[in-house]
Structure 1
C-alpha cells in the first residue's frame, strides 16, 4: 500500500508525527555523542600522575590516572566501540528484512544502556574496554535505521535539511560531552558521568519496544505489512490524546520482548537469511555507480575526513590545553564545537536544498567546504596567539561541519530504498575502521614520538586536504538518485496535488 494513492480525507492526525520522530532520533543521537565527548573530556579521561626530579609526585586523575594508561591505551578506549559496531551492523541490517527496524533499535539501545552503566562500574582497562565494545552494538542498531526513517518522512524539499538536523547532534553532542564530562568529573567522579547517561537513555530503549511498529520504505517485514494494512482499513478507537495514542498502540513489554527474540532466533537459524544478506551485498558490489561513486570516492574522502575529526574530538581538549595553557580547554573547545556544529551542519543541509539536492551538487559542496575549512584550521595551529587561534579554528570548524547533511544524502540516495540500512551499515563500519578508530591511538603514538602537540595537530589537520580532493573527483562521475527505484515514495492525493511523507499520511 505504500506505493498506492491515499486520499487526503483518509488521513488522521497521529501523535507520532514526522517532526516528533525526528526529535526522538535527535535526542538519541545527541546522547550517544555526549557519551563520546564525556570520555574524551579532561574531567573523565583525566591524566597520568607525574613526578618531579626532586621526588615530589602528584596522583593521576580520571580514567587514565586511575587505570594508569599510556596514550595508546587511552586513545584505544575511544575506538573500542568499533568492535561491537563492526559485528552488529551487518546483522541488524540483515534482520531488518524479518524484524521491524524500530524493534531492533530497542534491542540495541538496551545493550547500550547496560554497557554504559557497566563503564561506571569498571575496575581496570579491560573491563571498561569490553563495556565500550558492547556500546557499539547500540550505535549499530540505531545509525543503520535512523537516517532511512528520516529520509522517508522528511518533506521532499527539505530532505537534506532534516538529515543535517539529525547529524548536527553529533558534533553538538560531542561538545556538550566535553562540558558535561568536565563538570561531572571535576565535581563528583568520572563514574557518575556514565551512570547518568544510562539513566537518560533507558526511556528511549523502552520506547523501541512499546511504540507501534513503524514501516521503513523498502523493508518487507511481516510486522510492517500488518501495520500498513491496519492503518488502511481501520482507524484506532482511541486517539483523543497523545498519551492514549501511544498507549493504545503498545503491547505488554513481556510479550514484545518474547516476540522480538523469538523472531531474531528464527532469523538467525534461517538459511535464507544468510543468502539474502549475500544477495544484498552482491547487489551493492556489482553496481558500478555505487562501487565507483560511493565505495571508491565517497568512502575514501569520508574516511580521511573522519580520521581527522575522530582525533580532533578525542585529543582536541588535551592538545589545546597543552599548546595554549588553557585551564578550561574542555569548556572553550566544547563551546566552539557546539556553536559551529549547530550552525555549520544546518547551513550545509539548507544550502544543498537551495542548490537542489543532487548527488553531484553534494560532492561540490563537500569538496569546497572541506578545502576552505581545512585551510582555516591548518592556519590556526600556526598562530601562537590564543585569540587568533580560536577565531580561525571557529571558521574552519563551521565549514567542516557543513558536510554532515550532504555526505549522508549521498549514502542514502545512491542505493535502492531496500538497501539503505545495509548501505548505512557498510558506510558506518568503513568510516570507523579506516577513519576515527585508528586515528585516536595513532595520533597518541605520534604525540608520544614528537612530544609536540602543535606539530601533531598540524600533521593531523593536513589530512583534510586529500579528503577535499577526493570529493572533488566525485563531481565528475556519473550518478543516479535511486530513492524511488523500489516503486515506493511519498504518499500522494488522488488528484496528485499534494505530496506527504509516509508517517504523516498515517502509513507507519
Structure 2
C-alpha cells in the first residue's frame, strides 16, 4: 500500500481509537455509581449533578474549540484534550470526596469538548467528499462500542477490584494514543474543497468567516430542527445512560456486573446495527427525498419509544 493511502487510514484509526476512549471514559463512572454512592454516602440527586456539571462545561467549552482549531494546530489541540481527559480519568481513582468528583466531571467536560468539536473536521480533510459518509460511519461506530466497553469495564473491574480500578484501566491508554496523535501529520485544511470555496473563505478572513458561519446556521431551518431533535434525544438518552445499570441492579435484582453487561452488550449491538443500517437506508432514500436522513432518524426514534417503555415497565416472573 502506498504511503499516500496509508496516511489517512492510519490517522483515521488513531482518531477512531481516541473517540472510543472518549466514550469509555465518559461511561465508566455510570457503571460504578452504586459503589460510589455506598462509599461516599451521596444521594441520587447528587449523582445526577455530576452529569449536569459535565454537560454545562462541555456545552460552554465547545463553541470556543472550533475557532481555536481554525487558527492553531488541530493535531495539537486534539492531543492536548486527550492528555487532559485521560489524566483526569486516571486521577479519579484518587478522589475521596464528592466535591472531588464534581471537579473531575467539570474538567473532563472541557477536555472532551476539544476532541468532539475538532476531530470530525480533521477526518473530513483526510478523505474526499465521496468517501466521507463511510469514513465518518467508521469513526462514529466508536460511540456505541465505547459506551458498551465503558459499562463492561466498569462492571467487571469495579465489582471485583473496587470502583477505582476501572479508572486506571480507562485512563492509561489515552496517554499512549495522545502521544501518537502528536506525530500524525496535519492535513491541509479544506484540501478537497472546491477552488471557489477556498477563495471565498480566504477573502472573508477568520473572524468574519466565523460570524458568517454562525449566522448562516441560525438561519438554516434544517440545522435548527436537527439541533432541537438532537437535544431532545440527548435529554432522553442521557437519563438512560446514567441510570440504567443502577435501575437494573436496584429495581430488577441484577448484580451490578450483570446489569452493566446486559446494558453494555445491548448498546453495542443496537448502536452498531443502527449506525450501519441507518446510513445505508438514508443513502438509498436520498434519491427520493432530500429529508431522507431526517426521516430515518425520526423513524428509529419512534420505534425506540415503545420498546423502551416495555423494557422499563415490564417485570419478569
TM-score by length of 2: 0.85
Q: What is the Cα deviation at residue 345 of structure 1?
A: 1.5
Structure 1 match to 2:62: 89
Secondary structure in 1 matching 2:4: coil
Q: What is the Cα deviation at residue 305 of structure 1?
A: 0.5
- Give the Cα separation in 2 of the matches to 1:184 and 1:281: 47
Among residues 306, 311, 324, which one is paired with 2:239 in the alignment? 311
5+ residue gaps, structure 1, are 1-10, 47-61, 220-274, 387-508
* Residues 157/280 of structure 1: CA separation in 2 closer, same or farther (3 Å cut): closer
Structure 2 match to 1:375: 306
- Give the Cα separation in 1 of the matches to 2:12 and 2:266: 25
Structure 2 match to 1:28: 18
Taking only aligned residues, the RMSD between alpha carbons, in angstroms, comes to: 2.8
* Residues 125/33 of structure 1: CA separation in 2 closer, same or farther (3 Å cut): same
* Residues 66/158 of structure 1: CA separation in 2 closer, same or farther (3 Å cut): same
Among residues 28, 46, 50, which one is paired with 1:38 in the alignment? 28
Structure 1 match to 2:146: 173
Structure 2 match to 1:300: 228
Q: What is the Cα deviation at residue 355 of structure 1?
A: 2.9
Larger radius of gyration: 1
- Give the Cα separation in 1 of the matches to 2:238 and 2:141: 15
Structure 2 match to 1:216: 189
Secondary structure in 2 matching 1:190: coil
Is the Cα–Cα contact under 8 Å of residues 126 and 187 in structure 2 kept in the other structure?
Answer: no
- Give the Cα separation in 1 of the matches to 2:251 and 2:296: 32
Give the alignment of 1:232-243 within 5 angstroms. none
- Give the Cα separation in 2 of the matches to 1:120 and 1:137: 19
- Give the Cα separation in 2 of the matches to 1:80 and 1:359: 37
In the alignment, structure 1 residue 133 sits paired with structure 2 residue 106: yes
- Give the Cα separation in 2 of the matches to 1:21 and 1:298: 29
5+ residue gaps, structure 2, are 193-204
Q: Kindly tell me the number of residue pairs found equivalent between the two proteins.
A: 304
Structure 2 match to 1:361: 292
Give the alignment of 1:45-444 within 5 angstroms. 45-46=33-34, 62-154=35-127, 156-217=129-190, 276-277=206-207, 280-286=210-216, 289-290=219-220, 292-295=221-224, 297-327=225-255, 328-356=258-286, 360-385=291-316
Structure with more helix by fraction = 2
- Give the Cα separation in 2 of the matches to 1:95 and 1:319: 40
Q: What is the Cα deviation at residue 131 of structure 1?
A: 1.8
Is the Cα–Cα contact under 8 Å of residues 157 and 353 in structure 1 kept in the other structure?
Answer: no
Is the Cα–Cα contact under 8 Å of residues 19 and 143 in structure 2 kept in the other structure?
Answer: yes
Q: What is the Cα deviation at residue 118 of structure 1?
A: 1.8
Q: What is the Cα deviation at residue 283 of structure 1?
A: 3.5
* Residues 88/75 of structure 1: CA separation in 2 closer, same or farther (3 Å cut): same
Q: What is the Cα deviation at residue 143 of structure 1?
A: 0.8
- Give the Cα separation in 2 of the matches to 1:185 and 1:359: 47
Q: What is the Cα deviation at residue 107 of structure 1?
A: 1.4
